[in-house]
Structure 1
Amino acid sequence: MLINETPPHVRRIDTDREDAYAFEVTGHISAADMENMYGLLEGAYELHERIDVIVLIHDYEGLDWGAAWKEQTIRGKNRAIKRIRKYAVVGGPGWIKPIIALSKPFLSMKMRHFEPEEIEAAWEWIGARPLPGPA
C-alpha cells in the first residue's frame, strides 16, 4: 500500500457458511467502498441463489451520499433486494435503525438492526459464525 493510500472501509469477513456473507464497515464510506461491497455481493449471487448478510458498523464517519445514488449503486441495491434472505446490521449511526424499520414492510428480505453489544445475537439470527482471521 502506498503511503497516501487509505485502507478500504469495507472489509469482508469469512464465515462458516458458504451462503453467509459478513462485512465490517468503518470510517467514511466512499464510492470505491460501495463498489467493492456490491462487487463482492455480485460474486456471491453467481454462486448462490439466496444469501444471508451481516454488516458490522463501527467508528462510522459518514457516507459519500452522491455515490449512494449513482446508477451502479442503485443497480446493486436492487439486485440485493432480490437475492438476500436475511440482512442484519450491527451498530452504525442513529438513523440506521429507523431506516430498517421503515423499509421492512416493502422488502421481501428479513431485516434486523442490532446494537453493538448484541453482536452474538446478530450472528445467531443469520445462522452463521465468523471464521478466525489470520494471527
Structure 2
Amino acid sequence: MPSSLTAVPNVRRIETDRSDVFACEIANHVSAADLENLYGLLEGAYALHPRIDVLVHFTNYEGVDWSELSEETKKEGQEHANAHIRKCASIGGPDWVSHFSGFFAPSIDVELKRFEENEEQEAWAWIGATPQPLDI
C-alpha cells in the first residue's frame, strides 16, 4: 500500500502557455476531497482572470463521489463556473458534454466540446493553448 508521500493526487493541474486557461488531468476514482481540491484550483484561476477556458483530460477514469459533496458546494461551483468559464474541452473519459450543458445556466454562453483520447492535440488547438512542462 502506498504511503501518503507517494500517493499521486487524482486531480492534477496541467501548466499551459496561457494564464487564462485552466487545464487539469482527472485520473482514477475522484473523491469528495479531490473535488474540493479541483474547486479550489478553479477558484484560484477565477481570481486571476474574470473569464477562463478549461481543458479536462480524463485518464483511467473510474467515477466521482458526487454524493459526498455538499449541495452548497455543488451550487457554488456551478455559479462560479457560470460566471467565469468561456470554453470547456474534455479529453477521454465519459461523455459529459450533455451533463455539463445542464450544469451551466441556460442563459450562459459556454462552448463545450468532447474529444476522444486520440484527439488530444485537437482539443488543445480548440482551446488555443499548449501544455507546458512543470517547473520543478
Q: TM-score, normalised by structure 2?
A: 0.85
Question: Residues 90 and 122 of structure 1 are in contact (CA less than 8 Å); yes or no, is this contact kept in structure 2?
Answer: yes
Secondary structure (helix, strand or coil) at the match of 1:8 reads coil
Matches within 5 A, 1:74-89: 74-89=75-90
Deviation larger for 60-69 or 31-40: 60-69
5+ residue gaps, structure 1, are: none
Residue 134 (structure 1) shift: 5.7
User: In structure 2, do the counterparts of structure 1 residues 103 and 42 end up closer, same or farther at CA, with 3 Å as the change threshold?
Assistant: closer
Residue 67 (structure 1) shift: 3.0
Amino acid at match of 1:8: P
Identity %: 44
Secondary structure (helix, strand or coil) at the match of 1:17 reads coil
Residue 49 (structure 1) shift: 0.9
Amino acid at match of 1:45: Y
C-alpha separation in 2, matches of 1:4 and 1:48:
33
Residue 101 (structure 1) shift: 6.2
Which residue of structure 2 lines up, in the alignment, with residue 45 of structure 1? 46
Which residue of structure 2 lines up, in the alignment, with residue 35 of structure 1? 36
Question: Residues 30 and 63 of structure 2 are in contact (CA less than 8 Å); yes or no, is this contact kept in structure 1?
Answer: yes
Residue 133 (structure 1) shift: 3.3
Matches within 5 A, 1:7-18: 7-18=8-19
C-alpha separation in 1, matches of 2:83 and 2:124:
21
Question: Residues 67 and 73 of structure 1 are in contact (CA less than 8 Å); yes or no, is this contact kept in structure 2?
Answer: no
Matches within 5 A, 1:1-135: 3=3, 6-68=7-69, 70-93=71-94, 95-100=95-100, 106=106, 107-133=108-134
Q: TM-score, normalised by structure 1?
A: 0.86
5+ residue gaps, structure 2, are: none
RMSD between superposed Cα atoms in Å: 2.3
Amino acid at match of 1:79: H
Aligned residue pairs: how many? 133
Question: Residues 59 and 93 of structure 2 are in contact (CA less than 8 Å); yes or no, is this contact kept in structure 1?
Answer: yes
User: In structure 2, do the counterparts of structure 1 residues 81 and 38 end up closer, same or farther at CA, with 3 Å as the change threshold?
Assistant: same
User: In structure 2, do the counterparts of structure 1 residues 4 and 18 end up closer, same or farther at CA, with 3 Å as the change threshold?
Assistant: closer
